[in-house]
Structure 1
């Protein structure tokens, strides 16, 4: 059986994701689509809107055949490490290709951009250092350095667009690891990442969908933008994950430490621990807190990743101890996905773990701990859910 891989968060799964899954399968000619999905915390440094089991169920109902969890250490990392972890898992499970959605819509500009930066790597790194020294954020420095090399040549990818950026890093990670997976891309359609829900269209952004529900809108009102299976899963959720929901526990986690102790947590740098500590004293809500700490130098995403690590207790020492994924955590499968695992068993490059009790290495135990902290933030009493939830099996549907 032939497999193609995609990297997802499904926060939550909507019609745009459905389109991506179908097009990935069509374009690759694969028999199964394998999704590497972030767990309870996401790349932009946020708690997932709904837990990973609900999102797995949405994914399988939407045509995905295997859902593999991206470990916390990669799921909450900057784009380069996020991509590195995801590509390693897709390669290990035997994908012949990977397919990402992009604003660019064509793969050749990404390949040319990769070659450009590879050939001018020394100059590129120097331009980044110079840009950072002007006081701008690291992502802005990357854009400035790349733009100076690219010039006005439209044969290269536009790396100012969020999906293009991630797509480039997927290609970069795969090529640097020596993977033989073929990169593919499809044109992103419909709403952009931050766009609000718009009447009269069938594809809305996940951000817009979340905003509707956070502002008291009904799940039923989202029916034009989401498959019925996703709507059903949302209707069963009592609480949705957000920093607003988690803030009392985050505030406690910050204030229980002295500023010098906050420095130990991953991504906390340059003395910002003092600002975090003082802001936590003053701010009654998360929005107030972010307003006190956000600056030109620190993007909201970078700050939220810091806060995620403080909340979960993830340290610099832990971050630096991980080199590569050590396992494939199975969250769910279709009938076709189960057949794929059975047929490819001898060719899969990492152990497939289906029970949390078998996650005995430090990376796996971190995933279990992060999941417990997520469930605590939701206010649920089911803190053992990580151990009691088996991989979701979606009937005998063959992947169509």
Structure 2
């Protein structure tokens, strides 16, 4: 619940990829705040903007030095926000340590609190060690991630100067914040994160660093008694499912989807033309385009991603499809850039790790974006049903 001290006008979220930006903003949207995702790192919301501004800084795909510069500049631009949240992947992929320190320096906040747990997805922190469904993250599939393998699960190793804290030590948090500490907070359930957020008297004195679990706890404290509920986008006549993530969860979801008789899909090659022509000839009400599931060299993977983006651009611009369901933050960024989209007006988070909204720009179509590793095997089936059968504008939900 919102306390009398939590009258907020601006919440800023600094994310290392697009799905993290959506995951960070969505809980605040559900808590009654207007929210927009900005797709360019240097985007500047209106000086008088209120609500949530989430910035996809794209830093996960940069080298560490470039990521440090970009994060520090963004933190400096948004240092005056009432809540400043730097997202990190709940499996610790990316430049976690370097980006935290860069954001902290840029924001000049008194203290920084790192709480990467996302209990709803089985990602928990125990005595400073990050686990995925009971396995230390570096021993899980994320330790074998082809693009961003996780090498260390122990946050005390990544942050040797940090103070470790947990639920039964929350009473000490105000003093630790006053002393300007970097605090690593262990959490195994959502209630642990609620205790953390409730224990800090002033949210604006802290750089908050975490995953959707922490974002949701902050949003619960900052919930608005009333707010714009948003309007559902129109039903999609024909959505396009875009799978670029190689995560096994996304590939299982795609297999489940393609087993249906009303879905036609293609695997894109380096030349997008055959895929475009095949999908234009397709008669099914749901279309899908995927990159090959096997690993490739970085150069080939980049070429395939660009080819997939060209397929999406061709099919949206000629109105073959009128909505997008995209898996993977890097895939979403690559796909949306050629469409001229500048952002996403966020509607809601229909499932954990999934955000729904409308593109801002020349093609204001509905879009759903799913983090690669989230969801059960039937998730893409449910998202297709949602985008095709949601109420039209003006109808009751």
Fold conserved (TM > 0.5)?
A: no
Looking at secondary structure, tell me which structure has more helix per residue.
1
Instruction: Name the TM-score, length of structure 1 as normaliser.
Output: 0.30
Looking at secondary structure, tell me which structure has more strand per residue.
2
Relative contact order, CA 8 A, sep 6+: which one is greater? 1
